[in-house]
Chains A and B, each alone.
Chain A
Amino acid sequence: MTSGISFHKLVAQNARERKWLPFLITVTGIFALVIGYYFVLGDAVRGGIEGSAGYYDRIAYMAESYLGTRSAFLVTLALIAALLSGYSGYLWLHAQEQVDFYNSTAVKRGRLFSAIFASGALQVLVPFVLCDLAAVFLMPAAQGVFSWRLVGIGLRGMAFAILVFLCLYSFVVLSAVLSARTMTTVLMTALFWLYGPLLYWLLEALRQQFFDTLVNGTSDTVFFWLSPAFLAYGAAGEVLSHALSCLGILIYGAAAFAAGLAAYSVRPSEAAGSAFPFKRETTVIKCMIMVPSSLGIGMILGGIAGQNGPSVYYTNSPGSAVYYSSGSAISAPWMAFGLLFGAFLMHTVLELLFQPDFRNIRRHWKSGGVGAAISLAVYLFLVLDPMRVNLWIPNKTDVQAMSVNSDIANPWFAENSYAYYDDEQSGTGEFFREYGALYDLAQTCVEGRASEDRQVAADTGEMEKTVIIGYLLGDGRKAYRKYTVSTDRLYRVAEKLSESEEYRKNYYMTAQLPADFTDASVTAWDPESSTAPVSLSLNAGQRQALVDALAQDSTSQTLTQLLDQTPLCTLELSGMTEKSGHESYSQYYSHTIYIYPSYKTTLAQLEAQGLTPETKFHTSPAPYPTGMELYFGDGTEDNSLSLSDPDAIREMLLVLKRETQAQADRSTGTDVSVWMTYSDSSNQSFLFSLTSETTFRELFRKYKDQTAALPAMTKD
């Protein structure tokens, strides 16, 4: 006698036991797919004018969003169907009498598993495919917009939905096999679908809080890949590459099916009714949930009890502040308390979820203790940083070259911030070899963090900026660290770095300008008035010549040399740039670039267009200043200064310009009004909004002490 139990008989037998499933899918399909698609197409048809441009594109867009590969709706339907089919097909594993029956029959476990899997899939997919085909072929015809393009969209969407369903269904089945009660099955499904992204976000929050110098080397979309459900929604939501995410969904599904099959083959039949079928699974699952949850609860409590506002470290040289933390600080004791409280809370909740028996809370204290101990160990690792991850800096001798985020050099060149990223991981620019000043800055930051000399910097008035520093090490490895530093200090480092031609060529934004701009205009430099821009009409050759001239002129000078000049005018270049990724698209850009008097080649290019600085902008040759009056705050004696020494005036102007560079933060600083008297007896007033005033105040104090107060001049 042989078993003689055919696979299709097993599939049919399983189908007989849950006839409600295909019925439910059919009814839902008729309403959601057929009728729903009819109305969606109707909306699209009514919303456009037949024959007009984009009419069919709009219909196709609507079809794509509803029944195509971009349909989050289809993903949701697939998700619900996966839950229904998976649970109804495999929850018998949790009932002893059913396990006794099925596992006593002459069917190998793998065969039974596969037959039930196939049956559940067919009971969903057959009615779904029929309804979807009816929708794809008949509804466009009913709305009078039938086209093979729409059919293609629908069929691709159907294939995508089937793939998503099979993947998610495999995970539900795996959840049922790896658990032995309905509640733990639901918990397990949630783990598979949500755990990865949630853990990623928690780790990212912990990294930002405790290892804030580390640069997140992953992209913003990485968490999508940590969950099959998120991956499906990411693919439908155009967040991820569709082909790549479909491959990911396929791999996820195949892995889940294989894992389910393997787990079912060794699953002990006596497990039915307990929380989990496998030894130690309870402890593992419990710790997987307990550890992140208790850390999260600890962080919340520590955050509530923690101190707000930035903390600052001052180096020995007066006025040179280096920030070590710009955000709110967490209270370590409260976090520890919250963590232990969270561990106990989660232990209790999970035990009751696993088996609704209060005695288990005490009975299973060991596994709870393991979870709490791991949480505590992670917490201590975060707080104590025994491996000094957050304070890491390579030996200077090991560093070949360094890089920094490119936008630190921008304020000298443009009104708006512009960064070009050549390193996808960190957003830093090219590596350069004359990095001394940058390394010193990094070292100061590390020393500042390690120091106990910390102060809350709520009232310093310092402006800050986050800088990413890259190290190219001797063995070719790259490492990145992130620090928050005062803008004043950062810009002085940038000035120092600009003494290197390599740095200038790689970091001056004017050395990287695109020649594909479509519009160019020039506006006179006059902070006090609004001069109308003069448009330029340039051919391709002239555009290239202009950006080449800008690159040549700018990269021949250090930032200090540029600071010493007042721009003649600004040049605005705008156009569209092609962005590549999983989907290419065009993005508008606009650069407003300062044109300094030393930009001889550039000025020659502008002159060729009929724009002569002498005639148009009246600023060159510039008369030299003979007197300066400045005042700030309430403008009283203590807050005003008069200078007549040209060198002193020049030095003060340099500091004021430097400390006004971070244009984006202009509104937050102190306003300094300046009244200038020039050698041609002309007067001009300026308003400097300081973003960093440490050096200015030092200089002010120096000249205030040296110079007898001159009669204050009235404000213009």
Chain B
Amino acid sequence: MFEIRNVTKRFDGVPAVLNMSAAIQDSQVYGLIGTNGAGKSTLLRMMAGVLRADEGSITYNGKPVYENPEVKSRICFLSDSWYTPVGASPEDMAKTYETFYPAFDGKRFFSMLDKIGLDRKRRIRTFSKGMKKQVSVLLGVCANTEVLLCDETFDGLDPVMRQGVKSIFAGEMADRPFTPVIASHNMRELEDFCDEVGMLYKGGILFSRNLADMKLGLQKVQCVITDPDRRDAMLKKLDVVRREDRGSMMTLVVRGQATEVKAVVDAAEPVFAELLPLSLEEIFINETEVAGYDIRNLFS
């Protein structure tokens, strides 16, 4: 388990991560989301042992990560700007990863490479951005480390490849201890991917929760209720997080289990009522508002 305790990191006096605490359980896909400059990359680089925290501690299974080869051998980090030496091919990169990750499975790497149709001898610098990401993810998976830290790695992957990576991750998690930590600013990409998400904002973590729990606890309701008394009575009974009215159509985001919410809405005898799925983005917008942050101010 990764444990991040009161971690602060400043660059030239400006805090990139400020007094952050979080815990990442083993064998789950953890999504780290946040706006640009939220501190995602800095946190990942500290978790990978690249950066030293100014304050606080980052441990993996109770042991500090920084300058600890024993712990770092269990972690593979794929940075946003993934490094490939000049003129290196996937084959060369496999040799490099064999050096630095002794458990690296070369056979599996080449087999997966062949499956997605990438030339193992072609220079990586001639690959497209998406192809480079594919190679980097495959190298990361084949490094056979317990933790794979991916910084914006999935940005740029096509839907097919993203689906392929998901199934690879699922397979890995089924076969061995494997914890992918994926940082991205694109919430839609992580929506159907993560077991748990942590949201960063201005160097701090707003929350870290199980995605399914969050989805279960928030409901989106669209309804048309013509009787104002019944409508008001219904609203009093619901824990409304957000409300939007368009004509007679009312859209609500409310806390509570789906069956309970549906029962309250039905009791108001709506002309029309429907429970809609919530997107991750909507969940975060609502949660940030609950946490005291007005998301509209982020872009004002």
| B67 CB contact (under 8 Å) in A17, A96, A109 | A109
- Asked if A3 contacts B73 (CB within 8 A), the reply is yes
Bound: A103/B67 CA distance, A: 9
Residues of A close to B70: CB separation below 8 A: 1-3, 106
For A17, the chain B residues whose CB sits under 8 A away are 85
A1 touches B99 (CB 8 A): no
A5 touches B100 (CB 8 A): yes
Asked if A104 meets B50 with Cβ closer than 8 Å, knowing A17-B85, A269-B45, A270-B11, the reply is: yes
Q: Mark A455-487, 1 if CB is under 8 A from B, else 0.
A: 000000000000000000000000000000000
Q: Would A96 and B72 be within 8 Å (CB), given that A104-B50, A106-B100 are in contact?
A: no
The segment out of B76-84, B112-120, B243-251 that lies at the interface is B76-84
Bound CA span A4–B102, Å: 6
- Quick one: closest B residue to A92, CB to CB? B83
Complex Cα spacing A387 to B3, Å: 61
Which one of A8-16, A74-82, A181-189, A571-579 is at the B interface? A8-16
Give the distance in Å from the alpha carbon of A347 to the alpha carbon of B82 in the complex. 36
Is A97 in the interface zone, CB < 8 Å from B? yes
Interface residues of A toward B: which range?
A: 20 to 34
Is the CB–CB distance between B92 and A108 below 8 Å? no
Distance A2 CA – B92 CA, assembled complex (angstroms): 24
Which A535-577 residues have a C-beta within 8 angstroms of B?
none
For the residues of A in contact with B, the DSSP-based class is helix
Known contacts A16-B95, A107-B69, A108-B69: A100-B100 contact under CB 8 Å: no
**Interface bits A1-38 vs B (CB < 8 Å: 1, else 0):** 11111000110110011000000000000000000000
Question: How many angstroms between the C-alpha atoms of A98 and B77 in the bound complex?
Answer: 12
Whether B45 contacts A100 by the Cβ 8 Å rule is: yes
Of chain B, the residue at the smallest CB distance from A274 is B12
Inter-chain contact B99/A3, CB cutoff 8 Å: no
* CB-CB contacts below 8 Å: B61-104 with A: 67, 69-70, 72-77, 79, 81-83, 85, 92, 95-96, 99-103
Shortest beta-carbon distance, B178 to chain A, in Å? 13
Q: Mark B167-196, 1 if CB is under 8 A from A, else 0.
A: 000000000000000000000000000000
Given the known interface contacts A98-B83, A104-B49, A269-B51, the answer about A1 and B74 at a Cβ–Cβ threshold of 8 Å is yes
Contact partners of B100 in chain A: CB under 8 A: 5, 13, 105-107
- The answer to whether B77 touches A100, judged by C-beta atoms less than 8 angstroms apart, is yes
Determine the distance from Cα of A101 to Cα of B149 in the docked complex, in whole angstroms: 12
Chain A residues near B79: list those with CB within 8 A. 96-97, 100-101, 104
* A268 interface contact, C-beta 8 A: yes
Chain A residues near B50: list those with CB within 8 A.
99-100, 103-104, 269
Residues of A within 8 A of B103 (CB): 1
Are B99 and A9 in contact (CB-based, < 8 A)? Answer: yes
A4 CB contacts on chain B under 8 angstroms? 73, 102
Size category, B interface: 20 to 34
How long is the Cα–Cα vector from A95 to B75 in the complex, in angstroms?
A: 21
> Does B262 have its Cβ within 8 Å of any Cβ on chain A?
no
Question: Shortest Cβ distance from B99 into chain A, in angstroms?
Answer: 4
Closest Cβ neighbor of A109 among chain B residues? B67
Distance of A103 Cα from B51 Cα, bound (Å): 8
CB pair A3 B81 closer than 8 Å:
no
- Determine whether the beta carbon of B75 is less than 8 Å from that of A104: yes
Q: Which residues of B sit under 8 angstroms from A95, Cβ to Cβ?
A: 83
Known: A2-B73, A105-B72, A106-B69. Is A13-B99 also a contact (CB below 8 A)? Answer: yes
Q: How far is the CA of A98 from the CA of B79 in the complex (A)?
A: 10
B52 within 8 Å of A (CB atoms):
yes
- B54 → A minimal CB distance (Å): 10
B48 proximal to A (CB < 8 A): yes
Q: List, in ascending order, chain A residues with CB within 8 A of B45's CB.
A: 100, 104, 269
Contact between chains at A16 and B92 (CB < 8 Å): yes
A658 to B125, CA, bound (A): 87
* CB nearest neighbor in A for B71: A106
B61 nearest CB across to chain A (Å): 11
Q: How far is the CA of A16 from the CA of B93 in the complex (A)?
A: 11
> B-side binding surface: helix, strand, loop or mixed?
loop
A18 to B: closest C-beta gap in Å: 9
Chain A 88-131: CB-based contact to B (< 8 A → 1; otherwise 0): 00000001111111011111110000000000000000000000
Q: How far is the CA of A403 from the CA of B212 in the complex (A)?
A: 96
From the candidates A2, A96, A103, A270, name the one contacting B49 in the complex (CB within 8 A).
A103
CB <8 Å contact, A104 and B77: yes
Most chain B CB within 10 A, of A104, A108, A109, is at A104
In the assembled complex, the CB of B13 is this many whole angstroms from the nearest CB of chain A, namely 10
A5 x B102 contact (CB < 8 A): yes
Q: How far is the CB of B243 from chain A (nearest CB, A)?
A: 44
Q: Mark B192-228, 1 if CB is under 8 A from A, else 0.
A: 0000000000000000000000000000000000000
Which chain A residues lie closer than 8 Å to B73 at the CB level? 1-4, 106
Give chain B residues whose Cβ lies under 8 Å from the Cβ of A268: 51-52
A105: which B residues are within 8 A, CB to CB?
72, 100-101
Given the complex of chains A and B, what is the CA–CA distance between A95 and B82 in angstroms? 11
Q: How far is the CA of A101 from the CA of B92 in the complex (A)?
A: 15
Chain B residue nearest in CB terms to A95: B83
Give Cα distance in the complex from A12 to B81, angstroms. 25
Closest Cβ of chain B: how far from A3's Cβ, in Å?
4
CB distance from B153 to the nearest CB of A (A): 13
Q: Are A104 and B72 in contact (CB under 8 A)?
A: yes
Residue of A nearest to B42 (CB): A270
Return the chain B residue nearest A105 by Cβ: B100
- Interface pair A100/B83, CB less than 8 Å apart: yes
> A318 to B87, alpha carbons, bound, how many Å?
86
A3 contacts B49, C-beta separation under 8 Å: no
Q: A10-B99, A106-B69, A107-B69 are in contact. Are A97 and B49 (CB under 8 A)?
A: no
Q: A100-B77, A107-B100 in contact; A3/B69 too (CB < 8 A)?
A: yes
With the chains together, A3 CA to B45 CA distance in Å?
19
Which B-chain residue is minimally distant from A110 (CB atoms)? Answer: B67
CB distance from B138 to the nearest CB of A (A): 16
**B92 (CB) vs chain A CBs: closest residue:** A16
CB distance from A113 to the nearest CB of B (A): 13
Assembly CA distance A650 to B85 (angstroms): 94
Which residues of chain A are near B74, meaning CB under 8 Å? 1
Bound-complex Cα distance A613 to B100 (A): 96
Q: Mark B37-67, 1 if CB is under 8 A from A, else 0.
A: 0000000010011111000000000000001
B280 vs chain A, min Cβ distance (A): 27
Whole-angstrom CA separation of A305 from B65 in the bound complex: 63
**Known contacts A1-B74, A4-B73: A104-B48 contact under CB 8 Å:** yes
Instruction: State whether A108 touches B51 (Cβ < 8 A).
Output: no
Closest partner residue, chain A, to B9 (CB atom) = A270
Q: Are A3 and B48 in contact (CB under 8 A)?
A: no
Contact at B83–A106, with CB atoms within 8 Å?
no
Contact of B83 among A1, A5, A97, A107 (CB under 8 A): A97
Residues of B contacting A107 in the complex (Cβ-Cβ under 8 angstroms): 69, 100
- B-contacting residues, A254-295, CB 8 Å: 268-270
Question: Could you tell me the distance between the alpha carbons of A106 and B75 in the complex, rounded to whole angstroms?
Answer: 8
Q: Report B-chain residues with C-beta under 8 Å of the C-beta of A10.
A: 99
Across the interface, A108 reaches (CB within 8 A) one of B11, B48, B67, B146, namely B67
Closest residue of chain A to B65 (Cβ to Cβ) is A104
In the assembled complex, the Cα of A354 lies from the Cα of B102 at a distance in Å of 40
Question: Closest residue to A18 on the B side, CB-wise?
Answer: B85
Nearest-CB residue, chain B, relative to A111: B69
Of all chain B residues, which has the CB nearest A96? B81
Contacts of A5 on B, CB cut-off 8 Å? 69, 99-100, 102
Q: A270, B69: Cβ atoms under 8 Å?
A: no
A103-B50, A104-B76, A105-B100 given; name 5 further pairs at CB < 8 Å: A1-B103, A16-B96, A17-B85, A104-B45, A106-B73
Residues of B at under 8 Å CB distance from A? 11, 45, 48-52, 67, 69-70, 72-77, 79, 81-83, 85, 92, 95-96, 99-103, 146
13 sampled A-B residue pairs with Cβ under 8 A: A2-B73, A3-B72, A4-B73, A13-B99, A95-B83, A96-B81, A100-B48, A100-B77, A100-B79, A104-B45, A104-B79, A106-B73, A108-B69
Q: Which 6 pairs from chain A and chain B are nearest by CB?
A: A106-B73, A104-B77, A100-B79, A3-B69, A106-B72, A97-B81
